[in-house]
Each structure stands twice: as structure tokens, then as C-alpha cells.
């Protein structure tokens, strides 16, 4: 994944804050999905850091906190060397997958706008 190119393509808040909420949602959700697409091209599923930040980004979209969603998505692009986490034994439900995150974005887009 070319993290620098994806980061450079990030929507700029000052440029999008004046557009209507649904358009903001679609723009930022589309960019989050482009990060997921890039991860999928490199490997099957995101690592723990990427999963956490992308899940936070999707949560921000769901809550109508588009600036937070943008910031969390940008965090997912941090160089993996800088965020390698200790691998823990799995406890509880299975790992969150890209498919789970994509489903959450679809549900977010279909839900009523937060005001």
C-alpha cells in the first residue's frame, strides 16, 4: 500500500465542511473504503492497529462525527513499523474483518443523517 499517496488523497476538512452532511458522509466514507481497498491489495486483512483505527473511523461516520472519522482513518495509515502491537491470544468474538467494516459503512450510509 502506498500510504503517502492515500494520505495525500484524503479529503481536506476546510474544503468539505461547507458541503451538506450527506455529501460529507459519502466523501469521507469513500476515502475510508479506499484505504480498505489498498489494505486488501496488500494482504488479506488489516492488522490490529489498522482494524482499530478503521473501526473508529466507521464509528465516527455512524455518529455523524465526520472530522473524527477522517482523523481516525488517517491514523490507520501510520507506518506498520511504528505500531506493531504485541500479539495476544484471541479472546471473545473473532477478529473484525474488512468485510465487517464495509458492512458497517453500508449501514451508516443507509441510516438517517445525524443532526
CA distance 23 to 79: 29
pLDDT tens for 12-59 read: 888 888 888 788 899 999 999 999 998 888 876 888 888 899 999 999
pLDDT tens for 76-110 read: 988 776 666 555 555 556 678 888 888 888 888 88
Residue 115 has pLDDT above 90, yes or no: no
What pLDDT sits at residue 89?
A: 53
pTM of structure: 0.70
Residue 68 has pLDDT above 70, yes or no: yes
Domain boundaries, the chain: 3-110
pLDDT tens for 40-51 read: 888 768 888 888
What pLDDT sits at residue 34?
A: 92
Amino acid at each position: 500500500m502506498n500510504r503517502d499517496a492515500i494520505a495525500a488523497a484524503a479529503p481536506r476538512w476546510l474544503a468539505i465542511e461547507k458541503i451538506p452532511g450527506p455529501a460529507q458522509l459519502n466523501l469521507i466514507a469513500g476515502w475510508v473504503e479506499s484505504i480498505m481497498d489498498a489494505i486488501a491489495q496488500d494482504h488479506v486483512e488489516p492488522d490490529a492497529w489498522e482494524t482499530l483505527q478503521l473501526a473508529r473511523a466507521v464509528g465516527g461516520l455512524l455518529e455523524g462525527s465526520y472530522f473524527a472519522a477522517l482523523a481516525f482513518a488517517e491514523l490507520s495509515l501510520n507506518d506498520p513499523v511504528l505500531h506493531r502491537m504485541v500479539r495476544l491470544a484471541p479472546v471473545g468474538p473473532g477478529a473484525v474483518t474488512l468485510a465487517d467494516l464495509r458492512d458497517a459503512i453500508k449501514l451508516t450510509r443507509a441510516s438517517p443523517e445525524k443532526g
